[in-house]
């Protein structure tokens, strides 16, 4: 049985594709069926995606911002975690303690 807690604990492992196939399947099953985890995964992915695209050198603006890389270092994992923690704290009560 996959619980919301497991989803949160192993999300990174899952995104890295390092879960066993059987576990991976249960994971995706739970996320598809659980709106709470669905939102969690979604916002996590968006956060990671934002971090990536913000420093994509292939963007249109790349030619006019050659020094952008030294202004903003890559999004550190700690920051992603902090954002997610803040989101969790901000979420309304009653979402299962």
Query: Rule CB under 5 A: which residues touch Zn ion?
Result: 4, 34, 36-37
- Nearest residue to the partner Zn ion, using Cβ: 34
CB count in 10 Å sphere of residue 30: 18
Min separation Cβ 47 and Zn ion, Å? 18
Of 51, 3, 70, 50, which is closest to residue 31 (Cα–Cα)?
A: 3
Nearer to Zn ion, 24 or 75 (CB): 24
Nearer to Zn ion, 12 or 34 (CB): 34
Contact, 20 vs 28, CB < 8 A?
A: no
CB count in 10 Å sphere of residue 44: 19
Min separation Cβ 84 and Zn ion, Å? 15
Nearer to Zn ion, 4 or 83 (CB): 4
Min separation Cβ 70 and Zn ion, Å? 40
Q: How far apart are CA 50 and CA 80, in angstroms?
A: 10
């Amino acid at each position: 049985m996959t619980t919301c807690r497991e989803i949160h604990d192993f999300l990174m492992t899952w995104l890295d594709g390092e879960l066993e196939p059987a576990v991976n399947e249960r994971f995706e099953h739970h996320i598809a069926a659980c709106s709470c985890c669905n939102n969690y995964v979604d916002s996590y992915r968006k956060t990671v995606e934002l971090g990536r695209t913000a420093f994509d050198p292939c963007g249109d603006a790349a030619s006019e911002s050659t020094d952008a890389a030294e202004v903003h270092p890559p999004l550190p994992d700690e920051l992603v975690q902090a954002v997610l923690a803040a989101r969790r704290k901000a979420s309304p009560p009653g979402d299962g303690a």
